[in-house]
Amino acid sequence: MSVDLNQHPHPKLYMLLLGSKAPKRNVEQHDYFFGIAHSLKELVPEIKAFWPEAGASIHVDGWREVNQVDGYQIKILPRTSTLETSPHQLFFTNLGGYQAGKLAEQHYIVLSVKDDRASAIQDAKKTVFFKTNSIKGANAHIDEKYGIDIDDIYRVEEILSPVFKAKYLIEITPHSALPEDEIHLGYFKLDKL
């Protein structure tokens, strides 16, 4: 059975949590992938290109269509469209932190619409995760660095595949009445999307 049965008439921005038990790894590893398509199935070639060393074990552990973030509507337009200049940008932040007595790094993902990286950093620092996932000598951090490092927060447009960047633009407009994006969790094989 297919996961995303409906092909959308307009392309959508997808955020996927990918998993893989790659060769010579002891535990499943994860990464986030952003892609633009009419359906999840259309993303399969780019998913494989994004993480080639994952091999046949690559799968989707969760996904969402990114339609709204922080009271803003997220729409995808063809690159040929004229887009009014907007200060708003879509940021992806990966917070990492530690809990006493656990030999593991906890992660928390933040999608935010802000005008600049400094504002996105301030937004990330306000999360309960950032305030509570630290122990003496090992504070919550963004990616692999202690403290806040501007290089560890990405504009989603920066981390899109060149294939998507060449074809599409992300339009961000205020729209407070949109429902929350639905999060789909589970183990989804690529050939079943």
pLDDT value of position 150: 37
* Best CA proximity match to 161, nearest among 45, 17, 39, 46: 46
Answer whether 123's CB lies under 8 Å from 88's CB: no
HSE-CB for 36 with a 13 A CA cutoff: 23
Q: Which residues pair with 29 in a beta bridge?
A: 20
DSSP symbol at 151: G
The full set of domain ranges for the chain reads 1-67+178-193, 72-166
* pLDDT tens sequence across 119-143: 888 888 787 777 676 666 666 555 4
- Statement: 1-67+178-193 belongs to CATH 3.40.50.300: no
- What is residue 133's predicted lDDT score, i.e. its pLDDT? 64
Q: What are the residue ranges in the chain where pLDDT is below 70? A: 1-6, 131, 133-151
157: helix, strand or coil:
helix
The per-residue pLDDT for 148 is 40
Segments of the chain assigned E as strands? 12-20, 29-37, 59-65, 68-69, 72-78, 89-98, 105-114, 141-142, 145-146, 153-155, 168-174, 184-189
d(CA 130, CA 134): 8
- What pLDDT was estimated at residue 101? 81
Q: For residue 189, what are its two tokens?
A: 């094989």
